[in-house]
């Protein structure tokens, strides 16, 4: 057991290091290309391949993890991120939209290989009936990861100000190369390698509960990214003249706070050592989140203190969203099969990547056409769909006797 935990800690450390570069790179690209005069929709297009290949990677990556082992998929992900960063070190005149999209495609593949590996590994360390402990472990992993992603946002804005775009990307590539070399030495065990060899026909889930949870995840993350990915940083920079470091710092604080709340979710949802949350808990927290974007949109449209209401509203949204995300992360690991966990987790995070892709496209398009309030209204509509899926999940779990 202790050997397994040591291996898992290495996986988690790799995931944390990757998360720092992933968050920093996203902020670098948004702010750098906005500075160059790109439109919000054009900036959103830079992330299309990142999210699209995340969809493909989660589906195929789960199959690879089951056949090869999670240590190999983790190391492949780290290497691909190093290559993606290196692609952005070309001269400025060669840094075209298509080239950046290609680099982001590799980065998207890398990110989801890492996420799938880390989230799948935790299932293998606990007994099948340890639901409460599983909830705590998953919440701690996802919360710490998102806190580090927030640090990455701040790091991206800071490095852009201090080193410029090429200097920032080069520094991150060098740091991640060291992490990859250490990972090759330390990750020796084939975590998650199945006893059977799954076929491609087994990639799609046949579980109604898992499919419904995946649909809820798609709408949940589309509802966040429709205002967060493109609209919010550009809104702060253009409407309130915030410098790059301030934009990166605010988003960093938001995501760090989000990660802290996520790690504390078992306490905030009333979890005990004997009782893990049920599907009804997921439904109620989704219902609580649903009206918040609408209230924020009204506040920034009709109040003279738009910035104050925006910041206060987004902090509240982040806290409630974090609990929703933690509950989702627990349920997918709890529903996943022990033998072939990466297949189920990969399918679920395929839906997550699809939601991010939808949110990213809508964020650039809606912000360019109508502004920040429209993005928040779209967020509310997407959350209504997530609530409907969560309600259906309560019925499916009740039918299963849970």
Given a cut of 50, whether residue 14 has pLDDT beyond it is yes
Instruction: Report the alpha-carbon distance of residue 153 to residue 169 in Å, rounded.
Output: 13
Q: What are the C-alpha distances in Å from 322 to residues 64, 71, 330, 354? A: 29, 28, 12, 19
Instruction: Report the alpha-carbon distance of residue 299 to residue 327 in Å, rounded.
Output: 29
How high is the pLDDT of residue 371? 93
Contacts of 304 (CB under 8 A, 6+ apart): none
Contacts of 268 (CB under 8 A, 6+ apart): 261, 323
Query: What are the structure tokens assigned to 23, written together?
Result: 């968050």
Instruction: Report the alpha-carbon distance of residue 10 to residue 234 in Å, rounded.
Output: 36
Query: What are the structure tokens assigned to 255, written together?
Result: 């995501």
More confident residue, 2 or 140: 140
When the pLDDT of each residue in the chain is averaged and rounded to a whole number, the result is 83
Instruction: Report the alpha-carbon distance of residue 55 to residue 112 in Å, rounded.
Output: 8
Please name the residue ranges forming H helices in 187-305.
208-228, 231-239, 244-263, 265-268, 279-289, 292-302
The CATH class given to the 2-185+203-399 domain equals mainly alpha
Residues in the chain, total: 402
Q: What is the mean pLDDT of residues 24-43?
A: 84
Calculate Rg over the CA atoms of the chain: 20
Going from N- to C-terminal start, the domains of the chain cover 2-185+203-399
Q: What is the pLDDT of residues 110-140, one digit of tens each?
A: 888 887 777 776 666 666 666 677 777 778 7
**What is the pTM for the complete model shown?**
0.78
- State which H helix or E strand residue 12 sits in: helix 2-35
Instruction: Report the alpha-carbon distance of residue 129 to residue 140 in Å, rounded.
Output: 19
Helix, strand, coil % (nearest 5) of the chain?
85, 0, 15
Contact 111, 21 (CB under 8 A): no
3-state SS class at 172: helix
Neighbours of 29 (CB within 10 A): 24
Specify the range with the lowest mean pLDDT, choosing from 17-31, 181-195, 293-307: 181-195
């Amino acid at each position: 057991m202790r050997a397994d935990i040591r291996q898992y800690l290495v996986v988690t450390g790799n995931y944390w290091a990757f998360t720092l570069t992933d968050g920093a790179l996203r902020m670098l690209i948004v702010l750098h290309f906005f500075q160059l005069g790109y439109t919000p929709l054009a900036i959103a297009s830079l992330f299309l391949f990142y999210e699209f290949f995340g969809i493909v990677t989660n589906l195929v990556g789960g199959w690879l993890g089951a056949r090869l082992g999670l240590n190999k998929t983790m190391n492949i992900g780290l290497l691909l991120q190093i290559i993606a960063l290196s692609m952005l070190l070309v001269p400025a005149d060669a840094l075209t939209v298509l080239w950046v999209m290609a680099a982001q495609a590799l980065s998207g593949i890398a990110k989801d290989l890492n996420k799938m590996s880390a989230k799948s590994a935790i299932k293998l360390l606990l007994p099948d009936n340890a639901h409460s402990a599983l909830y705590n472990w998953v919440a701690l992993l996802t919360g710490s990861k998102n806190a580090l992603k927030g640090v990455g946002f701040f790091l991206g804005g800071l490095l852009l100000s201090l080193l410029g775009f090429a200097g920032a990307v080069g520094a991150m590539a060098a740091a991640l190369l060291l992490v990859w070399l250490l990972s090759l030495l330390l990750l020796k065990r084939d975590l998650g390698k199945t006893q059977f060899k799954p076929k491609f026909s087994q990639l799609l889930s046949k579980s109604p509960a898992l499919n419904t949870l995946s649909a809820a995840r798609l709408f949940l993350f589309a509802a966040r990214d429709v205002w967060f990915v493109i609209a919010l940083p550009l809104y702060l920079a253009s409407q309130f003249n915030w410098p790059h470091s301030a934009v990166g710092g605010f988003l960093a604080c938001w995501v760090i706070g989000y990660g802290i709340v996520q790690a504390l979710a078992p306490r905030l949802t009333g979890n005990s050592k004997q009782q893990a949350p049920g599907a009804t808990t997921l439904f109620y927290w989704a219902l609580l989140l649903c009206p918040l974007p609408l209230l924020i949109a009204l506040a920034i449209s009709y109040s003279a203190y738009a910035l104050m209401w925006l910041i206060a509203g987004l902090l509240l949204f982040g806290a409630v969203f974090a609990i929703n995300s933690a509950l989702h992360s627990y349920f997918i690991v709890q529903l996943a099969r022990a033998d072939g966990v990466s297949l189920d987790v990969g399918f679920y995070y395929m839906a997550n990547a699809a939601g991010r892709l939808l949110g990213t496209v809508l964020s650039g398009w809606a912000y360019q056409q109508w502004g920040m309030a429209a993005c928040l209204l779209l967020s509310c509509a997407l959350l209504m769909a997530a609530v409907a899926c969560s309600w259906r999940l309560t019925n499916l779990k009740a039918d299963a006797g849970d």
